[in-house]
Structure formats: C-alpha cells, structure tokens
Amino acid sequence: MRLLLADDHDLVLETLSAFLTNQGEFEVETCGSLEAACEKIGSDIAYDLVLLDYSMPGMNGLEGLQRAIKASYGRPVAIMSGTTTKAVAQQAIDAGAIGFLPKTMAAKSLVNAVRFMAMGETYVPLDFLNAEEPEAETPLSDLLSERELQVLNGLCRGLANKEIARELDLQEVTIKLHVKTLCRKLDAKNRTHAAMIGKDAGIV
C-alpha cells in the first residue's frame, strides 16, 4: 500500500513513517504542508491513502480537506489531529474524509485503521466518539454583572477603591462589596489576583 503522510511536525512524520514502513506492507511518503501534499497527490503517483494533519499550514480547517479530496480523484483522504473535537471529526467525515485519527491512538490500532481506510472503509475510533467533551469555560462577560465588570476594569488599571468609586459615581463601601464579590466569583485570593484574572481574560 502506498501512503502519503502530511504533517508540519517533523518528529510526528518521522515516527509515523518509520512505524508504518516497518510493518513491511506500506510504502510511505511524507511532506510538511497542504500545498506539498496537493502537489504529490496531483502527480502520477496513486496513493492508497492520504493522511492530513488538521492544523498544518494551508489547511484552513476543512477547506484543505476539500482541496485534497478534489486533487485525489476519489482516492481516500483522512484527517489526523492531536487536539480536534468530536464535532470537527464528524464535520470532516461529512465533508468526505474517509476517516479521522487522533494522534494519541495506540500504534497497533493505527495500523489497523490505516489498512481499513486504504480499503475504502470509513474509520473513527469508537473510544474517541464516546469520550466526553471537556466543558467550555464560561466567559467573564457571562459570569459577572455589568457593574462588576466595570469594577474589575478599574482593578486591572491599578485604581484604588476610592478612585473606582469616583469614576463610577458610587460609594467607596459599595466598591469594597463589589471587590469582595469579584474575588468570590473569580476564585481570586485578593484584588491583585482578581486583576490578573481580568487581564488574562482581556478585560483591559
């Protein structure tokens, strides 16, 4: 079987290529970008399977997959990734990919998956599909009230409670209460820690 592996990480390419070649049944070629992959696919060489890294240069999400599928004249093209979600994997299949391979999958499973896809069968690991997605973090804009965001903005700019109170036309004691609430909601140790969290979130 003739395979084309495209990934911009040399170590990944070398490891995968060496492992598959050592199986004795695969002839593996490699490249580091979508552009190079499309050139190889469009040559006279007929690949039994093309494996594309989802996040390598030129991919632009699933646009790169479409380009590679078009260049391959119906031959199998699959996506591999170390970070992609189940939703993106499903979108890749819906867009015509023959399969999706997480880079974390076991070596033996990888070989079986490559064989499977090269024969024209769609493959996505069941354990990947069944794994629970991590919950998305709630943005600060949803977590805090408008007034709390204003107070946090003042903390991020290094203002004292009195200065924030003057700016917002509020009593200083009210600002103290808001700071206390902010620290609780943000799980911050103190006002400085709250300001750091605010800066990390792009409040200022």
Lowest-confidence range among 40-44, 113-117, 161-165, 181-185? 40-44
Which region among 5-9, 32-36, 142-146, 199-203 has the lowest average model confidence (pLDDT)?
Answer: 199-203
Reported as a pLDDT band with limits 50, 70 and 90, residue 150 is very high
pTM metric for this prediction? 0.62
In a domain, 60, yes or no: yes
Q: Are 198 and 140 in contact (CB under 8 A)?
A: yes
**Angle at Cα 59 formed by Cα 68 and Cα 72, nearest 5°?**
5
pLDDT over 70 at 36, yes or no: yes
Amino acid letter, residue 69: I
Confidence at residue 172, expressed as pLDDT on a 0 to 100 scale: 94
Task: Confirm whether 135 is domain-assigned.
Answer: no
Domain containing 146 — which CATH number? 1.10.10.10
Asked if residue 188 lies in contact with residue 197, where contact means CB atoms within 8 angstroms, the answer is yes
Domain count, the chain: 2
Interatomic CA distance for residues 90 and 65, integer angstroms: 13
Out of 108, 130, 152, pick the residue that ends a domain: 130
Asked if 125 and 146 sit in the same domain, the reply is no
Place 55 in a pLDDT band, splitting at 50, 70 and 90. confident
Domain that holds residue 121: 2-130
